[in-house]
Each structure stands twice: as C-alpha cells, then as structure tokens.
Amino acid sequence: MITIQGKGVSKGIAKGPLYFFQRPDTTVTQKTVTDIEAEKVRLAVAQAASIEQLNILVEKCQEDAGEEMATLFETHAMFVEDEDFVEYITSLIEEESCNAEYAVEQAGEQFSAMFAAMDDSYMQARAADIKDVTKRILNNLLGVVDGGINSDVPVILAADDLAPSETLQLDKSKILGFVTQGGSGNSHTAILARTMGIPAICGAGEALQENYHGRASYIDGETGQLIIDPDALTLAALKEKFEKQQETKRLLETMKGKEDVTLDGKKLLLYCNIGSPEDVAAVQANDGQGIGLFRSEFLYLSASDYPSEDEQFEAYRSVASAMNGKRVVIRTLDIGADKQVDYFDMKKEENPALGVRAIRICLNRPEIFRTQLRALYRASVYGKIAIMFPMITSVWEVKECKRACQSVMNELEAEGIPYDKDTELGIMIETPASIFVAEELAKLVDFFSIGTNDLTQYTLACDRQANNLGKFYDPHHPALLRAIKMAADAAHKAGIWIGICGELGADISMLPTFLAMGIDELSVSPAAVLPVRAAIRQSIAKICTLEMLEC
C-alpha cells in the first residue's frame, strides 16, 4: 500500500485507476516523405475521424444547445471535405513530397488568412472556423486524444497541475477525481472538481509519480490522501466512509424543492457558479435557483482564435434559455494572470495578477468588449441575463463600461435587433480599492458580487495559486471579513443587492457571519447547493453575530 498526502480541496471518496495526464506534442514540422499515397491515406483517415467527431457534436448540440450551434458544427464538417481545401492539401503533399500534417497546417493558414482579409464581416468570422477545422484534422493526424483521456473506463486523473484551457477540454464523463502535484484550493482544477461534485487533492508533490499510472487507487478529498493498492484494513475503512458519504447524499436529496430560508424567515438567493453551458445540467440536478457567476472566459480559453459574436451569443442564449427565467449573471471576459490565451498576444508581465487583466483588457481593446456585449444583449431576450464586470477599482471604469453598454444598445436598436433594455449591470468587488469607494460604485450599478478568492489575495498580499502559503492565505481573516461588511453596508445603503460568488460562499462555517452582514445571495458550486441549503434552513438569522470580524 502506498499513501500520498496532499491537501483536500473537494470532498468525497472515489475509487478507480490512476491515470496521468499526458500533454500531446502538437508541434508540426515539415518532413520529406517517399510514399505519397500513404500520406494521402493518412489524410483521408484523419478527415473521416474529424467528420465523425463533428457529427457527434451536431447531435449533442441539437439536444443541449439548439439548432444554431449545431449548424456551426455541420459547417465545420462540410469544410473538412471542401473541394478547394482538400485539393490544396493534396497538391502540397504531391508537389513538395511533404507530410500530411505540414500540408494541413499550411492550408489552414492560407485559407484562414484569405477569409480574414475579406470585406464581408460574416466571411471574416469564418476564419476562426477554418482554424478550428484545421486543428481538429491535425489532432487526428498527430494522435491527440479528444478530451485528453485515452481510457475506456473512468479514472482518477493525476497531473503536475492543469491549466484552465486544459481543464476545459477534458472529457469530464471519464473523471472520478483529481490529484495534482501542485496547485491550491483556488486552482482551476479544484474549482472544476467542486463544480462536478467529485473529490480532489492538490499539493501531492513529487511523491505522485508517473510510474503509478494504471494502479488501483482511492482518493479521499476530505483527508487529502491518495491511497494506492490499499490493504484490507484500509480498504474496509474507505468502503465504510464511502457508504456514509452516499447516505449523506441521499439525505441531502430531501432538500430539493425547498426554500432557501432560515428558521426565522430570512430568505437567501442560492445560486451556482459555472464555467460552461454544459454545467447547467449540474445546476438543475442540484436545484440551484439561478446562476450567480458564469465565467465567460471559457469561450476564449477553449478557442484557437477570438470567438465570434454569433458563437458567444449561442453559448449565452443556451444558458439563459435552459435556466427558464431564473437570473443568470454572466461575468465579462476575465483573462490575464493565471488564465492566459495565446492569440491575445499579451506581453509578459513580472506580476500578471497586478497587470493587464479582466476589465482592463476590455477597456484597452474595445472591439473585443463590444463583440461580447453585443452577444450578451442579443441573448438577454431569451432569459434573465445580468452582466457583471470583474476587477473594478474605480468609478471611471464603471462609467466606461456603462458607456460601452449604451453604445451597443444603440447599435442593436438601429439594426432592429431585440434586446432587454432592463438588463441588470453589476460589478465584482474583489480589490481593496473597490471596497474603499463602494458607496460611490453602488450608485452606478444594480448589484455587487464579492469575489472572495481575489479579494483575499489582494487584501492579504497572498498569491491565491500558491500552495506553500498555508495559514497566511486565510479567507477568515478579520480584515477580509470587515471588507465584505463594508461592501454590504454600501450596497444596502444604495438599495442594491449583494452576493458572494467566491469559494467562501460555500463555507458553511461562515453562514452565520454572512447572515449577520445581510448578504442577499450566495453563489456556490452546484454540488454545494444542497449542503448550504440544509445549513440555511437550520439557522436563525436574528441571533447571528459579527464576532468573526474581531481579531
């Protein structure tokens, strides 16, 4: 038996084979080939695999996301077999005696550049589609596994750590739990695990070795232990704990359909944090009453080029429609710092957490912002969408955001495109600066949402991604809690609602403090909804105090 100790960041127990995430080498180099016909056969096989994958996506979109998104993938499938595109690839293979990978890459660059140079905006947008199709064919030529996990059975996924873009592309149906050498409780792997409701461990260090790949393992997200080939005594204890876990889940199921209200009648809005339209299923399965944070950057992280207005519109529309009139708070683009996207061509920064990120990118690159806002407002007629701006520090930033929104509304009005004129606008309170000017900010918006992960980081000068800060990164620190109270007071003075969308929102030990502050909404991972609801229904708001704010 081998026991590896890390830090539990998502509770639960899972059993399965340990699978080490392999990053594929997608570098394409030109090679001289002697068997031209063999390269053509390889190309044909990759094309067939691409079309099969796209047809599966078409069916999935027809069920989950609607006909317009399905049509996009149908177009991709048609382009895989486009006569001019295929002829260009084939001629390169024949004339230059080059490998199929190089020919496909060159063709993709040539055709995407050609479309991008066209005057018609619709045709320009097709450049991104060509890049996606090219990448799919290349992945099939290079043997890159779709979803990143080449296994017939679900696994416990192990890695050094996973970048946000990597977590987005994982085949989540094959993941029982996560264990990583690095990372922290605020890493994107941990957040994904909590969204999925599966156990996760970070900070396992070098004890987590690749030669354990394939071994029978248990992961305990409460104790932070990964146990490989457990002995009989340990196995019995794990099985007993697993059964208790299942019994707790069965009891929590009784919370579905019940109000989020304390024993003395104080109501809370209990919403969910999500990262993609696919996560809506988890919100519905856990009876979330709305979406308090939709991280829209998933669209950018999972794309090879800037997502078009139509692509974004489809994503936002599908979520709004699926939530059937319940509020969906969509955060505008929040990349930078730990979430980098190659095609944004960001300059290297010494301290990216304090650099050009989130709303700073949007205000510096107004065309990117305009595209997203147009998609959001177009989608607003399909549900109850609210728009939230991240990383706000100043009044002038909010005024610029509102000016951009008004400009987009004027455009849509002139074009005869419907939108909801009453779409709520809010900001994330996640910097000390926003706390100190909260009263002024509250006069400009419809709601506040506190991002406790970043607010903790900036208040305590502790990197939220660092795993070695331990007790120094303290989300219960009185300074942080006092900051939250200041924001709550400012919001209520202005007559707007305030929520918490950071990981602290699911911390049941903090519920009495939040009730005493008058917090109106908690947005948590879908798996945390029922446990938090149970705690709310056992609380008495009138006797809650602010004693945690004391040093």
**Residues forming the active site:** 188, 501
* 527 phi and psi angles, rounded to 5 deg: -65, -20
List phi, psi (to 5°) of 499: -130, 175
Cα gap 22→143, rounded to integer Å: 12
Distances (CA, A) of 487 to 374, 401, 497: 30, 20, 11
User: Taking the alpha carbons of 21, 26, 32, 38 in that order, is the dihedral positive or negative?
Assistant: positive
Q: Which helix (H) or strand (E) holds 363?
A: helix 359-364
Alpha carbons 176 and 172: distance in angstroms, whole number: 9
In this structure, what DSSP letter does residue 98 have? B
Q: In 3-state terms, what secondary structure has residue 449?
A: strand
Which distant-in-sequence residues (6+ apart) come within 8 Å of 190 by Cβ? 9, 10, 178, 183, 184, 200, 202
Which ranges of 206-296 does DSSP label H, i.e. alpha helix?
232-252, 280-285
H or E element, residue 130: helix 121-142
| CB distance 314 to 72 below 8 Å | yes
3-state secondary structure of 420: coil
The single-letter code of the amino acid at 538 is Q
Burial status of residue 342 (CB atoms within 10 A of its CB: 0-12, 13-18, 19 or more): exposed
Structure tokens at 389: 């701006």
Distance, in Å, from the CA atom of 482 to the CA atom of 185, rounded to the nearest integer, reads 22
Report residue 416 CA to chain centroid gap.
Answer: 33
Give the 3-state secondary structure of 140-183: HHHCCCCCCCCCCCCEEEEECCCCHHHHHCCCHHHEEEEEECCC
